[in-house]
Structure 1
């Protein structure tokens, strides 16, 4: 029920917006209040709330020319920026130069006495011995090493150690290589080994044993030129051909600490004649150096002291390189062309008391037995590399010791096979063309120099 004094007014709609909320007034709306508000339908009913557009006005400076003080007086910070930049470069070069100088100054430079300088006008028998054997030299290689001038000779380039097929350089026929022929270097009076198995063999088709199908050469300075500490540099070019194994290396004059590898071995430079095969340690583009050492052959720790250097876009058969070793009581390293390009470096007294501890042989069990320590009693950190060593130059063919891994490069024999030499010879058509002709299949040595540590 409404009061009689109330005035009934209809709802007022603001503008034409259908969603606008109607407003009821307690009086009749004025004319101004009846005007539509299309912009803000819920705004207060006053014209002053309607937004008005402002005329655009540019902020561009129009007052004429203005001053540019930075063109007259340069920012002083710019000067210090240049000083700091070039000064930092100078300081960097100075620090780098000091580091290089102190590194060079810290390198030990011993006094050396030259004991061998051979440019191979001939093969001097006062310096070199021929090793004549056929038993694989403990590595299961397939060659028969000789003193044949076809396998080792000199010319204007130097010394050549060249492998040849046995059928090319002897009267032994292909059939005799396979069956019915006896090779006895002891009877011939030429074998340089006291082990009969290294000197003789009989070919037998049933057993699969064959006469060595390839002949090569192996020269050494044992008993003639040896050093205990010093340097060796050999300028040489490696051979080209699948399954060729050239080596420049050193062995101890005496087995002071026991048979190999207890008395050590120093490999200055080894390579493979193979090209393009995916060997873990490279083909003929790779140079390998290592020390072999261990109380027994099964515990040879060469992998702890080895290195390699790869060439890009060429290989070690294309040109001569200097292969060197520097050896003292405190360190040993091998290098190529310069002492700065080291293949591997070992410091004998670093973090280890001796080589026995370096190899961790004391914690090793072999064939259910602990290993015997042949070195520590000397009290020297570098034993067994503390005795006279002599130099060896040779080209081997194949092997069964893992130097050519099974299954790589279409290798035609297996290391565990009892007839590996026969399997190699059966595949002769696959590899003979890779050998090339003449000296390219051989190790070419331009010169050998050997120094002993100390004054002459």
Structure 2
């Protein structure tokens, strides 16, 4: 740098131009105020925020001020108004739910309280079959007392292991179970009545690895329009499938699903992993109807309801059906708490667009066209009640997923299920009353005829 720097002393502070031009020759002059002049212009650098006790003593609190009182009044009435609207809304929901349930007169058909120490066979009939009931289920249904028994005023339907009856070896190889030979089969085909086990490669087969029960009122009670109530606690255990449902007594419109099926409630025994579990933590209701298996239109009349706490295998719920010529309501706990509602506001033929369906490469005719209530058909005939506990199957009720011990598309699903029993058997309680569906009571009513008076 050329030339010596000028010394910086108090006498030179007042003129920044002189400092700048002498330190950096050729730079523009800048004016600078001295610290003393800054202090004089701004006065005190800091203002005290200390509260004067006398001033505070005379100050009115905000909530006692005119503005504060007005604001608090407004807030109070706003909260009260919002609460009132909420109460009205909740009341409206309750009233709407109550009014949505049609009011009818009913005549009692069945009041089963399971008061005795054995099953009343004048009411209940065992279905005894080995064929899987169209779903390729893994259980055979029996008339064994271990699979359906009455104890302490409750009916229990309990799945057990078939090897407890037939031995381990019989399940896998070299055994033929023929229910026709002993006269116990209630099915109509050989597949319903005969099962065998075989380990020959390419011809694998097993006996149904589970025994359970399926009870019906087919020979004793049925209703065409009316009410059903079943109070039950559902079973615990992976891949257990309990159901309360109905089938037509006479198949007026032909074989399943032409004559329909009413599923009042179905659940799954798998453990609930969390409150939002949509696999095990739901109750489902549906109607099955169509022309054949391929055109079963149940998905158009299927609904489910989530159970967020007090799960179905922990407490008893009442599951019900209200059914009249205008529609159906399947419910849990009370009729206003619907699982599924189906209004008969159009023919099922139209609802399923079945005019465009093909059965055996042809367009079939409408099987329900001759009904007196075409909007209700096929649900305009007598149906009987079924209580069942199934296990597994390949119809998709149990969707393929990680941890599932069989695949629905497997050629040997029951065998796969049995060979992987170490994965699911530990989830089945050793106490049969916990492993099974427990039913406290069953009630059925028919819709009273016009002018009819029924005994209370």
Match of residue 279 from structure 2: 282
Match of residue 362 from structure 1: 355
Is residue 109–residue 444 contact of structure 2 (8 Å, CA) maintained in 1? yes
Give distance in 1, aligned partners of 2:283 and 2:82: 38
Match of residue 419 from structure 1: 412
Give distance in 1, aligned partners of 2:416 and 2:137: 13
Give distance in 2, aligned partners of 1:302 and 1:372: 19
Match of residue 394 from structure 1: 388
Q: 1:225-244, aligned counterparts within 5 Å?
A: 225-244=221-240
Pick one of 124, 127, 149 that aligns with 2:145.
Answer: 149
Q: Single out whichever of 252-261 and 77-86 deviates more from structure 2.
A: 77-86
C-alpha deviation, 1:430, in angstroms: 2.1
Distance 1:141 1:280, change over 3 A: farther
Cα shift readout 1:291-316 (whole Å, capped 9, x = no counterpart)? 11112211111111112222235521
Give distance in 1, aligned partners of 2:267 and 2:330: 14
Is residue 157–residue 444 contact of structure 1 (8 Å, CA) maintained in 2? no
> When the two structures are superposed, what TM-score results if normalisation uses the length of structure 2?
0.78
Give distance in 1, aligned partners of 2:217 and 2:336: 28
Pick one of 344, 347, 357 that aligns with 1:348.
Answer: 344
C-alpha deviation, 1:245, in angstroms: 1.0
Pick one of 110, 124, 127 that aligns with 2:104.
Answer: 110
C-alpha deviation, 1:101, in angstroms: 7.4
Distance 1:373 1:280, change over 3 A: farther
Is residue 281–residue 308 contact of structure 1 (8 Å, CA) maintained in 2? no
Matched, 1:430 2:423: yes
Give distance in 2, aligned partners of 1:434 and 1:367: 44
Q: 1:303-314, aligned counterparts within 5 Å?
A: 303-314=299-310
Match of residue 27 from structure 1: none
C-alpha deviation, 1:203, in angstroms: 2.1
C-alpha deviation, 1:447, in angstroms: 0.8
What is the aligned length? Answer: 409
Is residue 238–residue 424 contact of structure 2 (8 Å, CA) maintained in 1? yes
C-alpha deviation, 1:408, in angstroms: 4.0
Distance 1:99 1:428, change over 3 A: closer
Give distance in 2, aligned partners of 1:98 and 1:445: 33
Match of residue 170 from structure 2: 176
C-alpha deviation, 1:83, in angstroms: 9.6
Distance 1:97 1:221, change over 3 A: same
Distance 1:112 1:186, change over 3 A: same
Is residue 245–residue 386 contact of structure 2 (8 Å, CA) maintained in 1? yes
Match of residue 163 from structure 1: 159
Is residue 125–residue 219 contact of structure 2 (8 Å, CA) maintained in 1? no
Match of residue 440 from structure 2: 446
SS at match of 1:417: coil
Structure possessing the higher radius of gyration over alpha carbons: 1
Pick one of 238, 244, 249 that aligns with 1:248.
Answer: 244
Match of residue 92 from structure 1: 85
C-alpha deviation, 1:168, in angstroms: 1.1
Pick one of 334, 337, 343 that aligns with 2:333.
Answer: 337
Flag the structure with higher helix content: 2
SS at match of 2:444: strand
> When the two structures are superposed, what TM-score results if normalisation uses the length of structure 1?
0.78
Distance 1:227 1:205, change over 3 A: same
Distance 1:87 1:310, change over 3 A: closer
Give distance in 2, aligned partners of 1:163 and 1:79: 65
Match of residue 315 from structure 1: 311
Pick one of 209, 214, 221 that aligns with 2:210.
Answer: 214
Distance 1:406 1:80, change over 3 A: closer
Cα shift readout 1:356-400 (whole Å, capped 9, x = no counterpart)? 111122234566543432123325211111111111011111111
Distance 1:365 1:95, change over 3 A: same
Distance 1:409 1:332, change over 3 A: farther
C-alpha deviation, 1:85, in angstroms: 4.2
Q: 1:1-80, aligned counterparts within 5 Å?
A: none
Pick one of 101, 125, 150 that aligns with 2:121.
Answer: 125
Pick one of 191, 200, 205 that aligns with 2:194.
Answer: 200
Cα shift readout 1:140-159 (whole Å, capped 9, x = no counterpart)? 11111111111111101511
C-alpha deviation, 1:271, in angstroms: 1.2
Distance 1:187 1:366, change over 3 A: closer
Is residue 113–residue 153 contact of structure 2 (8 Å, CA) maintained in 1? no
